[in-house]
Structure 1
Amino acid sequence: MNVRSARIAGLGHYVPEHRIENSVLEQDFGLPAGWIARRTGIKARRWAAPEQALTDIAVEAASSALARAQPEANDIGLVLLATSTPDHLLPPSAPLLAHRLGLTCGAIDLTGACSGFVYALLFADGFVKTTGKSVLIVAANILSRRINKADTTSAVLFADAAAAMVLAPSSRDDAGLLGSSVMSDGSLYDMIAIKAGGTRNPDISAAELEDRVIRIKDGKVVFEKAVKLMTLCSEQALGRAGIKASQIDHFIPHQANARIFDLVAENLDIDPCRTLRSIEEFGNSSAATIPLTLSLAAQDGHLADGQLLLMSAVGAGFTGGAIVFRMAMD
């Protein structure tokens, strides 16, 4: 095959069975009914069972994507695992994931926080085009074990989920990744952080609770920066693709907060009906939200050949990115 682009050959996802409705958290925190949904767009989220590890939920999503991607799934050359909650600090979890799937190809973790999937898709596209082999991208997080359940800022937002995509070679030159943009702003490095466990503060046992869980330093700053960075990355990606926002069939933003991505869509002048959403039922599972939303859309028959997708995300660090992608079925 003369490889000209990369196409989505299969999508899959897994969400834990344990569903936590807002009413439970609002009662625990003494919040008025509807408080969480009004501020975030979230009505429920899934939390993993105590015995479930990151690779357990990743295997479920990956197996589903691989099953849908036959025969391309037989030629996987690389596994990319976008996660902020690996099984261990060392070794990376991707080789174990690949092994459990019966793969011996290259495998590596990406720690891009909520923008991890966008970066993984960008890297995977280059690998497919240069090697002619398929890439399995998995984004998975168990964030329920990294939240302070006494802190409304994090406990009402974060969720557990895994989603996967098989990116395969295509001979079409009118499809695949058409434009991209990635940015960062390290001046806001500590706005969202788990401070314990790295080389600056390695002793987790001695750390205060707030250093062992996700801490959002200033929600207002995070909100404003997220809107700005997602908008800028999206504008650049659209410009590089030579695509107008009005041509986008589906806008798939990182599902951090509905008010954030609704403002981004408004800034880009994208009709709200074109935004794909999973936040209401599944909350914010960080890097997993974009592929989860895509997998749900595919399951419902909403993705079709030739459609233009705009994916955009921002995450801790700050890191941001956006991709314009044209769907191809062959």
Structure 2
Amino acid sequence: MSAGVHMCGFGHSVPDRAIPSAEIEARLGLDPGWIERRSGIVGRHYASDHESLTDMALPAAQQALSDAGIDTGEIGLLLLATSTPDHLLPPSAPLLAHRLGLSHPGAVDITGACGGFLYALSFAEGFVRAQQKSALVVAANILSRRINEQERASAILFADAAGAVVLKPHSSSERGMRAFELCSDGAGYDLIKIPVGGTRHPYDRPHAPEDRMMHIENGQQVFAKAVSMMANSGSAVLERADVAPEAVNHFVPHQANRRMFDKVAEKIRLPKDRVRSSVERYGNSSAATIPLTLSLIHHEQKLLRSGDHVLMSAAGAGMTGGSALWVL
């Protein structure tokens, strides 16, 4: 019986439409280069009007399955981490599974904002160990449709993208999740939100148009809470696994803001050359940023090696997040 879990396939997808930071700076009256200096973001991609969430998630999942080299019938579970599903009801994961031609796996959405991928990954890893079946974890968001273009705090950051990983049973107990910590801080519940659309403020009641869009209440407070959550959980995970910071081969943080994850790496005492980033080209696509970055460093940079230690960390709306240490 297999004792480990192998992350054996990686995929990603971004829309064709590229939006340079200069375009947003001109619209908001910001100095040239302001966005890059504040966030590290040079560009991002937005979906076209006809693209849905599953349209964008599909090619990322297909690439991951192809990269893994496994038959679609082997997938026993599909988890889709997203805050922007095709519809509020039903969940989008069963539709994605159907479009992929999977053989009726378990399939459900995980609504965990920026921390959603880590939650989905931990759940899927446990499924693979317990059921001895493979799992597909996809994270995708179309945040461009939730941006208030006049609110600087959100307009400069958010983007659209998808990332995916395939997990399968492995004979080595050394493969898979060495340690993880999931956490939340409901005291920061209202710091990042879309005010209208839930049961507290339904669409059918009077509201301002901007209340349908993303709103960041206090950017400095979000920054401080996110850094604390990511750094504390990251340090706890390394301590629990008895792995020194310098033994981490790749630190793949949620790509919220370059200054944010550089600060996290500094607090965990991770070597700067281990930090992996995609924020420059692709911005912040919430839960999708970690699997997107993993896929990019696998397919484009060829950096991932068997036995590598990968530390992942995230924090976002809720506040919710955590960290995970994975051995490839």
TM-score by length of 2: 0.98
Does residue 9 in structure 1 map to residue 29 in structure 2? Answer: no
- Structure 1 residue matching 2:180: 3-state secondary structure: strand
> 1:36-75 to 2 correspondence within 5 Å?
36-71=35-70, 73-75=72-74
Paired residue for 1:27?
Answer: 26
Question: Displacement of 1:205 after TM fit?
Answer: 6.9
Paired residue for 1:144?
Answer: 144
Paired residue for 1:262?
Answer: 262
Does residue 281 in structure 1 map to residue 252 in structure 2? Answer: no
Question: Displacement of 1:246 after TM fit?
Answer: 1.3
- Once residues 206 and 92 of structure 2 are traced to their aligned partners in structure 1, the CA distance between those partners, rounded to angstroms, is 25
Question: Displacement of 1:203 after TM fit?
Answer: 1.7
- Once residues 120 and 217 of structure 2 are traced to their aligned partners in structure 1, the CA distance between those partners, rounded to angstroms, is 27
Count of residues in correspondence between the two structures: 326
The C-alpha deviation readout for 1:1-29, integer Å capped at 9, x for no partner, is x1211111100000011000011111111
Paired residue for 1:94?
Answer: 93
User: Is the Cα contact below 8 Å between 2:255 and 2:290 reproduced in 1?
Assistant: yes
Question: Displacement of 1:183 after TM fit?
Answer: 0.9
The C-alpha deviation readout for 1:150-202, integer Å capped at 9, x for no partner, is 11111110000011111111110112100001111101100000111111011
User: Is the Cα contact below 8 Å between 2:91 and 2:108 reproduced in 1?
Assistant: yes
Does residue 82 in structure 1 map to residue 109 in structure 2? Answer: no
Does residue 172 in structure 1 map to residue 172 in structure 2? Answer: yes
> 1:129-278 to 2 correspondence within 5 Å?
129-203=129-203, 206-278=206-278
- Once residues 171 and 36 of structure 1 are traced to their aligned partners in structure 2, the CA distance between those partners, rounded to angstroms, is 47
- Once residues 20 and 297 of structure 2 are traced to their aligned partners in structure 1, the CA distance between those partners, rounded to angstroms, is 22
- Once residues 222 and 204 of structure 2 are traced to their aligned partners in structure 1, the CA distance between those partners, rounded to angstroms, is 26
- AA of the residue aligned to 2:107: A
- Once residues 198 and 312 of structure 1 are traced to their aligned partners in structure 2, the CA distance between those partners, rounded to angstroms, is 28
User: Is the Cα contact below 8 Å between 1:265 and 1:272 reproduced in 2?
Assistant: yes
Question: Displacement of 1:72 after TM fit?
Answer: 5.6
Question: Displacement of 1:74 after TM fit?
Answer: 3.5
- Once residues 4 and 226 of structure 1 are traced to their aligned partners in structure 2, the CA distance between those partners, rounded to angstroms, is 34
Paired residue for 1:317?
Answer: 318
Question: Displacement of 1:50 after TM fit?
Answer: 0.4
- Once residues 6 and 74 of structure 1 are traced to their aligned partners in structure 2, the CA distance between those partners, rounded to angstroms, is 18
The C-alpha deviation readout for 1:78-114, integer Å capped at 9, x for no partner, is 0000000001110000011111111211100000000
- AA of the residue aligned to 1:316: A
- Structure 2 residue matching 1:26: 3-state secondary structure: helix
Question: Displacement of 1:318 after TM fit?
Answer: 0.5
Distance 1:138 1:216, change over 3 A: same
- AA of the residue aligned to 1:97: L
Question: Displacement of 1:70 after TM fit?
Answer: 1.5
- AA of the residue aligned to 1:313: A
- Once residues 4 and 186 of structure 1 are traced to their aligned partners in structure 2, the CA distance between those partners, rounded to angstroms, is 36
TM-score by length of 1: 0.97
User: Is the Cα contact below 8 Å between 1:12 and 1:61 reproduced in 2?
Assistant: yes
- AA of the residue aligned to 1:144: S
Question: Displacement of 1:244 after TM fit?
Answer: 1.2
Question: Percent same amino acid at aligned positions?
Answer: 51
The C-alpha deviation readout for 1:185-234, integer Å capped at 9, x for no partner, is 10110000011111101126732123211100000100000000000110
- Structure 2 residue matching 1:45: 3-state secondary structure: strand
Question: Displacement of 1:319 after TM fit?
Answer: 0.5
User: Is the Cα contact below 8 Å between 2:135 and 2:167 reproduced in 1?
Assistant: yes
- Structure 1 residue matching 2:311: 3-state secondary structure: strand
User: Is the Cα contact below 8 Å between 1:59 and 1:101 reproduced in 2?
Assistant: yes
- Structure 1 residue matching 2:22: 3-state secondary structure: helix
User: Is the Cα contact below 8 Å between 1:196 and 1:204 reproduced in 2?
Assistant: no
- AA of the residue aligned to 2:327: R
User: Is the Cα contact below 8 Å between 2:72 and 2:101 reproduced in 1?
Assistant: no
Q: Which contiguous aligned blocks of 4+ residues in structure 1 show a shift greater than 3 angstroms? A: none
- Structure 2 residue matching 1:128: 3-state secondary structure: helix
